[in-house]
A = this chain, B = another copy of it.
Amino acid sequence: MARKPDEHGDKGDDATAHWQKRSAGNKALTKPRSRRGGGRPTIADVARKAGVGAITVSRALRDPERVSEDLRRQIQAAVDELGYVPDPNARALASARAEVFGVLVPSLTNNVFAEVVRGIYDSLSDGPFRVQLGNTHYSGLEEERLLQVFGPQRPAALIVAGVDQTPTARKLLESAGCPVVQVMETGPNPVDMLVGFSHFEGGRAATEHMIEVGYRRIGFIGARMDPRSQRRLAGYRAATEAAGLFDPRLVTTTPVPSSVTLGRELFRDALAKMPTLDGVFCNNDDIALGVLFECHRAAIAVPKSIGIVGFNDLDMMQSAFPSITSVRTYRYEIGRRSVAMALAAIAGKRPEQRVVDLGFELIRRESTAR
């Protein structure tokens, strides 16, 4: 376990750390200045050093074009020399606007949202904006709570997953006083802006493909069943009904969070319930992989006896054996696009397209090649 417990210089039970310098008996030798703030340079220090007013330093940093070439250089030199970095808290307080993007996603570990978040981070890393990430755990109430917390921070923009906010949450978004981008889906009534794709159409396209290549007893296997999964299921249902192939017994779902292992189990259940099953459209790629593994284990031939289609097209789909047909979605791009739209709105140039459909692509692979 712990090695050499006090090699860091702590003496026994002394609970004071190196970073707790506190006012350990400071005899007030100095004037009462700088009670707080551990000595970091402030804008006033820079102004003094550069021989200008504080406000000019502020301008030089925020809006360089409004300051003459000369002063700008002088100020920059002072900033560099002092190692000055503006205090974002003071800035936010004074300007009533924090350089923060509030981002709400239902899960941090679900690869799908992780990709969106990565896109957001990558798009924001150049500029002055920070990200305030909230995990709603797929709960509307938690989403409301987080929006309540974000409010007083006065974020520059909000990016939230999905279009199924509770009425309260929607009201909070509408009154947030900043651009709002809903992501991951399309829909008719965005709070403000929207970037995503149609899960319904994705589900339908996947199912139609299976019908087209000849599968007839096509099951749907879904876990978690959040609103997006529900729409994929609706797409599946539309396609199977149109072909006269729908049967409620073909649908196997659970509210339990998705995983590969769960995919195996659900597939076993589905097969027990409906032994004539000859294909499955899976809610997502984890489930699809679980189905594939279970087929291997039970020596069920894929794609001959069972066809498999996943959703999202994670990297492993192309490498699986057999490779798995999946609906490719553009998560990273959704993240980037949402930031681009928000930044445009902040700059006053609102995109004329408030709703952007990034679409999807069905990638046909061995798992449905028959």
A176 contacts across to B, CB distance below 8 A: 19
Residue of B nearest to A344 (CB): B15
A166 CB–B CB distance under 8 Å:
no
A190 CB–B CB distance under 8 Å:
yes
Smallest CB–CB gap between A80 and chain B, Å? Answer: 13
Smallest CB–CB gap between A265 and chain B, Å? Answer: 9
A18 contacts across to B, CB distance below 8 A: 174, 192
Residue of B nearest to A258 (CB): B315
Residue of B nearest to A130 (CB): B132
Given A2-B356, A19-B176; A190-B319 close (CB under 8 Å): no
Hey, what's the 0/1 contact readout for A323-360 against B, CB within 8 Å counting as 1? 00000000000000000000001001110111111000
Picked from B2, B118, B135, B353, the residue with its CB within 8 Å of the CB of A1 is B353
The interface size bin for chain A is 35 or more
Given A85-B151, A98-B89, A108-B118; A8-B354 close (CB under 8 Å): yes
Bound form: Cα–Cα A318–B297 in Å: 12
The answer to whether A40 touches B3 (Cβ under 8 A) is no
The answer to whether A114 touches B109 (Cβ under 8 A) is yes
The answer to whether A17 touches B350 (Cβ under 8 A) is yes
The answer to whether B89 touches A19 (Cβ under 8 A) is no
Using a CB-CB cutoff of 8 Å, which residues 1-58 of chain A contact chain B?
A: 1-5, 7-8, 10, 13, 15, 17-19, 21, 36-38, 40
Question: Which of A4, A15, A108, A148 has the most B CB atoms < 10 Å from its CB?
Answer: A108
19 contacts between A and B (CB under 8 A): A1-B353, A1-B357, A2-B353, A2-B357, A4-B188, A7-B188, A15-B349, A15-B350, A18-B174, A38-B96, A38-B154, A40-B152, A85-B148, A85-B149, A108-B114, A260-B315, A260-B316, A264-B319, A286-B316
Chain A residues at the B interface, C-beta cutoff of 8 Å: 1-5, 7-8, 10, 13, 15, 17-19, 21, 36-38, 40, 85-90, 92-93, 95-96, 98, 108-109, 111, 114-115, 117-118, 121-122, 125, 130-133, 135, 148-149, 151-154, 174, 176-180, 186, 188-190, 192, 259-261, 263-264, 286, 289-290, 293-294, 296-297, 315-316, 318-321, 345, 348-350, 352-357
What 8 A-B pairs come out closest when comparing CB atoms?
A36-B96, A296-B321, A260-B316, A89-B92, A2-B353, A2-B355, A261-B319, A109-B114
